[in-house]
Amino acid sequence: MSQTINSILVPTDGSDGARIGARRGIDLAATIGADLHVLSTVDARDIEPDLNADGQTERERLLETEAERAVDSIARLARTHLSGQITTAVESGIPFQAINDYVDTHDIDLIVMGTQGQTGFERVVLGSVAEKTLRTAAVPVVTVTPDGDIVEIGDQRYENILLPTDGSEGADLAIEWGITLAEIYDATVHTLYSVDTSRFGGVEGSAEIHDALEETGQEALEAVHERARDADVSITGNIASGPAARAILSYSEEHDIDLIAMGTHGRSGLTRYLTGSVTETVVRNAAVPVCCVPMQ
């Protein structure tokens, strides 16, 4: 495989959205025999300091008990399906920072998490733990929408995986991960390049710009084809027109895509921030899991 997945982290806050994400993480761990880590964070911002208290406050004890219940619930579910090691942890701090620290400390290869937690945000990721994790994580993050299909662990199949590309380094890293997942599930890879000339409307020479972009797209698609063939993975490729996020979402719906893998940094380069990016738009609106791969 292009990438090795030995350990998967599933963050949870005990919510239904987190549990849906956890089921995907457990299923992947069961499929590849990876170790599973389950983490819940007591948000330090929810704890009001009591200068007269000796040790933990009542609220802090309550929040810690809820966090322990959340990880224990996921661990019990995982134990019925996994042969690998299951590790649970409850930390205190800022949730996305605690996730990143745990990734670094425990050599995590992949994070799988729901995009809707206790706060609830109706598929809008901004301001959430998931969004902040996506912006800062040093490993790929698979986001799972709360209104996606409920996975029967052990029965999940990713038959069609979409790998959008813009020919950038960020897209190349995502392609490696997408092909790895395609190898695991014996899936067909779909690769897509969108020619977007909307920024050049009315500009002299726009036809030449379109032709140049299409040529770049063909080269980018061919690069994905070569890597898929090297991995003995079935692949199909397409040139689309229009804004990239819209093209990705439309293609996903029209071709029964089960998972999208894409970089968090494309040609624009956002220094570990996705705000306004194609990736963020796709994460917000996709009906299927999205594997978001950072440039590290």
Q: Where are the domains of the chain?
A: 7-144, 160-293
Residue closest to 172 by CA, chosen among 290, 262, 259:
262
Give φ, ψ of 161 to 5 degrees: -115, 130
Q: Top-level CATH class of 160-293?
A: alpha beta
Residue closest to 136 by CA, chosen among 95, 164, 177:
95
Distance of CA 134 to the CA centre of its chain: 8
Residue type present at position 146: P
Q: C-alpha angle 59/62/64, rounded to 5°?
A: 110
Give the pTM: 0.87
- Identical fold, 7-144 and 160-293: yes
Beta strand 290-293 with 141-144: parallel, antiparallel or unpaired?
Answer: antiparallel
42 token code pair: 């007591």
282, 290 Cβ separation under 8 angstroms: yes
For every one of its 296 residues, what pLDDT tens digit does the chain have, with 9 covering 90 and above?
Answer: 578 899 999 999 999 889 999 999 999 999 999 999 999 999 888 776 654 555 667 888 898 999 999 999 999 999 999 988 999 999 999 999 999 999 999 999 999 999 875 554 443 343 488 888 988 999 999 999 887 666 688 777 899 999 999 888 778 889 999 999 999 999 999 999 998 766 655 555 567 777 788 888 899 999 999 999 999 999 999 999 888 999 999 999 999 999 999 998 644 444 434 434 788 889 989 999 999 998 76
The correct CATH number of 7-144 out of 3.40.50.300, 3.60.21.10, 3.40.50.1980, 3.40.50.620 is 3.40.50.620
SS3 160: strand
Query: What CA–CA distance (Å, rounded) separates 9 from 26?
Result: 10
Q: Taking the CB of residue 165, how many other CB atoms lie within 10 A of it? A: 26
